[in-house]
Amino acid sequence: MTAAAARSTAHSIVEASPRTKAFAGGLVILYAVITILPLLWIVATAFKSQSDAIAYPPKVIFEPTLEGYVNLFTVRTRQTPDFIAKLPPPETWYDQLVRKRDMVIAGPSKVVPRFVNSLIIGFGSTFLAVFLGTLAAYAFSRFRIPLADDLLFFILSTRMMPPVAVAIPIYLMYRQLNLTDTRLGMILLYTAVNVSLAVWLLKGFIDEIPREYEEAALVDGYTRLQALRKVVLPQAVTGIAATAIFCLIFSWNEYAFAVLLTSGEAQTMPPFIPFIIGEGGQDWPAVAAATTLFVVPIVMFTVLLRKHLLRGITFGAVRK
């Protein structure tokens, strides 16, 4: 097919009427409110006192406090008022805040190492999955691979059941290999789950890039790998960004395996957050503070890549 003919098959776009636009806009706003409201509630709860957080009816207007964040980052012990009175005056604002509740700070909580675990495991597995996925997708897209269709189907089939279905065999295997509760173990696991998604998504994107680009580069003096890096990848950036976000969202939010396979050293945020216990039960402001903190990196990552993402999600999905 000639380029001109290929272009002419694009759909013509009919401008929507103002009423349709208003209706569509209204729907989008409604949907945004529904999805953003819980998030806003969480952010607000993080600034409430414990009693405000569980007040009924729920308080929309309240006196903000940083107690939730202080409780999230510290471990505290309850003391008698007499003991506290005998202590030297508080050095910092958070010491003061805690002492008002008849408590003293005993040390930092585990939240920072858990958060670091999440970052390392989330981004590490995303990088690996996208890296391996790109190479595999390129090979599937460009080379004559025996049984390519069967292999691709096999790769996809690993996602046909919920990954947790194989949790127990994986647990046993990991125990045997001493991979339980290690960052490496979690990175490998999330990479394995994500790589199938990455291969399929990226193959679609790479298929859209005309082969002639690399062939021109090959004739002009590049090796296959150089051509991939300098010619194919710059054009696949959109797809790579979209794939990376999908992979990161999965490994960042993954809960079931994290509960099962991590308990200490390598524990990530999702299993950590629900177990933030305060006095006499769940410390909801601290949980909300942790959740807020947890959402920030993924929002930042998505915002950074949003230019690619918008095009990426629609591009490649539709075959011309």
In the complex, minimum distance from the CB of residue 5 to another protein, in angstroms, rounded to a whole number: 9
In the complex, minimum distance from the CB of residue 148 to another protein, in angstroms, rounded to a whole number: 13
Pick 178 or 223: Cβ nearer another protein: 223
In the complex, minimum distance from the CB of residue 115 to another protein, in angstroms, rounded to a whole number: 37
Nearest to 64 by CA among 250, 289, 315: 289
In the complex, minimum distance from the CB of residue 226 to another protein, in angstroms, rounded to a whole number: 8
Q: Is 63 exposed, middle or buried (0-12, 13-18, 19+ CB in 10 A)?
A: exposed
Cα angle at 255 between 239 and 130, to 5 degrees? 20
Pick 45 or 141: Cβ nearer another protein: 141
Beta 277-278 vs 281-282: how paired, if at all?
antiparallel
- Within 10 angstroms of residue 73's Cβ, the number of other Cβ atoms is 18
Q: What's the rounded Cα separation, in Å, for the pair 214 and 222?
A: 9
Pick 65 or 235: Cβ nearer another protein: 235
In the complex, minimum distance from the CB of residue 313 to another protein, in angstroms, rounded to a whole number: 20
Pick 107 or 221: Cβ nearer another protein: 221
Q: What's the rounded Cα separation, in Å, for the pair 187 and 120?
A: 8
Cα angle at 308 between 307 and 312, to 5 degrees? 130
Pick 56 or 143: Cβ nearer another protein: 143
In the complex, minimum distance from the CB of residue 312 to another protein, in angstroms, rounded to a whole number: 16
- Within 10 angstroms of residue 174's Cβ, the number of other Cβ atoms is 20
Q: What's the rounded Cα separation, in Å, for the pair 59 and 63?
A: 10
Tokens found for residue 163 = 């990954």
Residue 54: CB partners within 8 Å, gap ≥ 6?
284
In the complex, minimum distance from the CB of residue 234 to another protein, in angstroms, rounded to a whole number: 5
Pick 145 or 218: Cβ nearer another protein: 218
Residues in touch with another protein (CB under 8 A): 2-4, 144, 210, 212-213, 215-223, 226, 231, 234-235
Pick 175 or 230: Cβ nearer another protein: 230
